Structure 1
Amino acid sequence: MSKTITYVITYENGRWVSRCPTGEIEGVGVAGSLSQMERDLVEMHVWAWPEDTPGVEFVFDLPGHVAGVVTEYRREKELAEAHAKRAAELAVKAAKVLTSHWSEPDTARVMGLSKQRVHQLKVSA
């Protein structure tokens, strides 16, 4: 796959509509679901570019009240993922430090985890 073609997706009259603003694909695609839209576009790409089929990317042009909620959700999701990653790193660090002083069962109790999870954390990379 050499490149990706981006489509702007809107919801109009009860159907999902795709437009290619860069002009690689002319016209409009219409489908009842986003899954169907993606399948149709992938199929069209395979037909049009059988040797080097480009990928499909969606950019959603949503009404303001919906776009705001989606933006807020995505921002919070990114923050949650960053916090989860940091918590996982700290869990490993804490398990290693605590088990250097106490038993795995005692460490598990302090950390609020199972003994098995503390052992996994302690022996992890």
Structure 2
Amino acid sequence: MSKAITYVITYERGRWVSRCPTGETEGVGVAGSLSQMERDLAQIHAWAWPEDTPGVELVFDLPEDLAGVVAEYHREKELAEAHTKRAAELAVKVAKTLTSHWSEPDAARVMGLSKQRVHQLKVSV
């Protein structure tokens, strides 16, 4: 699959509407659901570029009140993912450190995990 073609998606008169701002495709797509919109656009791409079908990328142009809460959600989700990744890294470090001093069951009790999970963390790379 080659690059993706980006579409700006709006919600107008009870339907999802797609427009390609770069001009790679012309016209306007209309669908009752975003799933249908993506399927329709993917089918158009497969028909227009059968040898090297580009992907579909949707960018949402939402009303300001909705865009704000969606942006806030995405920011918080990114932060949560970063915290989860850091916590997982620390879990490995702590499990290895504690088990170099104490038994796996004792390290598990200190960490609030099962001894099986501490063993998994300890032997992970």
User: Percent of aligned pairs with the same residue?
Assistant: 86
What's the secondary structure of 2:2's corresponding residue? coil
For 1:3 and 1:120, the matched residues in 2 are separated by: 39
Match of residue 27 from structure 2 = 27
Within 5 Å, which residues of 2 pair with 1:17-96?
A: 17-96=17-96
Count the aligned residue pairs. 125
Match of residue 120 from structure 2 = 120
What's the secondary structure of 1:62's corresponding residue? coil
Q: What is the TM-score when the length of structure 2 is the normalising length?
A: 0.99
For 2:88 and 2:24, the matched residues in 1 are separated by: 43
Which consecutive unaligned segments of at least 5 residues does structure 1 have?
A: none
Q: Over aligned residues, Cα RMSD in angstroms? A: 0.5
How far is 1:2 from its partner?
1.7
1:32-83 superposed Cα distances (whole Å, 9 cap, x missing partner)? 1100000000000000011111110000000000000000000000000000
Runs of 4+ in 1 over 4 A off after TM superposition: none
Q: Which one-letter code corresponds to 2:14 in the other structure?
A: G
How far is 1:3 from its partner?
1.4
For 1:69 and 1:123, the matched residues in 2 are separated by: 41
Q: What is the TM-score when the length of structure 1 is the normalising length?
A: 0.99
What's the secondary structure of 1:38's corresponding residue? helix
How far is 1:27 from its partner?
0.7
For 2:106 and 2:55, the matched residues in 1 are separated by: 52
For 1:117 and 1:96, the matched residues in 2 are separated by: 12
